[in-house]
Structure 1
Amino acid sequence: MTQRTRSGWSSAPRVRRVLARVVVVVGIALAAIGLITARYGLLFAGIIVVGLGAALGPARIRQD
């Protein structure tokens, strides 16, 4: 099998860390707004976005 190499600005751990933090902050804001206004759709969306932000972290880059 051929091995794919990741290159570009999106594979740098620093960029991925900043992007993950931004996504997590947006998710927390959505969850807080959903909790305060009792709109459970926003709360659910906030929880999903926080999970996606956690999955975007630099630890997800595998160095094989």
Structure 2
Amino acid sequence: MDRFILLMLASILAGFALLKVPLSDTFLAGLEPITNLIGILAIVIFSLVLMYKGLMALLGRK
């Protein structure tokens, strides 16, 4: 179970890193809106999963 939580935290950090990566002045500059969207979705989805798992742990359910 601890590895799952660490994986979720690493995914959230990857989402933040994807938001901060500078793509201007590169050939990938056109993909910046897509990478921002993917980063935001990763942060939101994995944060919701962590909150769900925490709530289930508090309620005593697996």
Normalising by the residue count of structure 2, what TM-score does the alignment of the two structures yield? Answer: 0.61
Q: Indicate the RMSD between aligned Cα atoms, in angstroms.
A: 2.2
Contact 1:27–1:49 (CA<8 Å) still a contact in 2? Answer: yes
Note if 1:21 corresponds to 2:9: yes
Runs of 4+ in structure 1 over 2 Å off:
none
Report the count of equivalent residues: 50
Q: Give 2:18's aligned amino acid.
A: L
Normalising by the residue count of structure 1, what TM-score does the alignment of the two structures yield? Answer: 0.60
Unaligned runs of 5+ in 2: 25-31
Corresponding residue for residue 53 of structure 1: 46
1: CA distance, partners of 2:45 / 2:17: 14
Q: Which has the higher helix share?
A: 2
Q: Percent identical across equivalent pairs?
A: 12
